[in-house]
């Protein structure tokens, strides 16, 4: 079941990835807000996936490379959303969303 939550998070991160590519050519305020809300929703799904994986295995889910990639991509999204909330840096998404998507898609 945790893989299902991670796939939902990956779908939300994909919206952010599309925004990152669109942001290279032009910016759209509406699409920026949609991508930010999708990233927040993806972060929630990702958190649920990590917690569920930890409960099922009865340990902290960072013992192999896939779990470590998942945890790192989750932490990158948390830091990005905090920086975005605090400083409103739109251009950072061009680097963050592809990184997070690729790290999450490896699982």
Judged on CB neighbours under 10 Å (0-12, 13-18, 19+), 59 is exposed
**DSSP per-residue letters across 56-72:** HHTS-S-SSHHHHHHHH
CB 93 within 8 A of CB 35: yes
Q: What's the predicted TM-score (pTM) here?
A: 0.91
pLDDT in tens, the chain (107 residues): 889 999 999 999 999 899 888 877 876 778 788 888 999 999 999 999 999 999 999 999 999 999 999 999 999 999 999 999 999 887 888 899 999 999 998 76
Domain boundaries, the chain: 2-105
Give the whole-angstrom CA distance, residue 85 versus residue 65. 30
- Residues 65/68/73/77 CA torsion (nearest 10 deg): 180
């Amino acid at each position: 079941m945790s893989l299902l939550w991670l796939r939902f998070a990956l779908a939300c991160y994909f919206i952010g990835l599309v925004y990152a590519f669109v942001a290279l050519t032009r910016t759209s305020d509406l699409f920026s807000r949609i991508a930010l809300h999708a990233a927040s929703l993806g972060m929630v799904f990702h958190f649920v996936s990590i917690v569920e994986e930890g409960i099922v295995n009865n340990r902290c889910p960072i013992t192999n490379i896939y779990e470590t990639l998942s945890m790192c991509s989750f932490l990158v999204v948390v830091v990005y959303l905090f920086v975005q909330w605090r400083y409103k840096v739109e251009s950072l998404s061009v680097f963050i969303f592809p990184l997070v998507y690729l790290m999450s898609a490896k699982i």
